[in-house]
């Protein structure tokens, strides 16, 4: 078509983009992603705190489901655990955790894993894969 045909086609594409572009929706999506990143960073900070202050314990995996999320090629799984720590009777905890690829053989219903439990909030746990 030539130069002018290409310019007309580009103008039509620009008009379509302008008609369908919603800055408010883009802002909402960006804000949701930022909130998710903040929550992830908060969870990592809490996990680091548990490394320092957590009470050692063990847990039996009673449920395992893939959430469909991947972080650096590692699957996020929803673990249901029966936790035994700190002299308390076993109690259930469900938590979404990253499953390192080298720990996938350890992650099965009925398997036992090492955990660290928050001293004041026993529902906050850190699974220690391969320990």
Asked which of 4-8, 17-21, 50-54 is least confident by mean pLDDT, the reply is: 17-21
The single-letter DSSP state of residue 102 is: G
The dotted CATH code for 54-131 is 2.40.50
Structure tokens at 40: 């992830």
pTM check: above 0.95:
no
Q: Are 56 and 113 within 8 A, CB to CB?
A: no
Model confidence at 1: pLDDT above 70: no
């Amino acid at each position: 078509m030539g130069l002018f045909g290409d310019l007309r086609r580009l103008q039509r594409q620009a008009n379509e983009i302008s008609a369908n572009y919603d800055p408010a929706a883009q802002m909402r999506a960006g804000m949701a992603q930022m909130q998710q990143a903040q929550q992830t960073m908060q969870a990592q900070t809490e996990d680091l705190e548990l490394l320092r202050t957590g009470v050692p314990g063990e847990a039996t995996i009673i449920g395992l489901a893939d959430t469909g999320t991947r972080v650096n090629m590692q699957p996020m799984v929803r673990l249901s655990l029966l936790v035994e720590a700190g002299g308390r009777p076993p109690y259930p905890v469900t938590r979404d955790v990253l499953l390192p690829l080298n720990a996938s053989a350890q992650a099965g219903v009925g398997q036992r894993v090492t955990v660290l439990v928050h001293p004041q909030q026993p529902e906050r746990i850190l699974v220690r894969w391969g320990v």
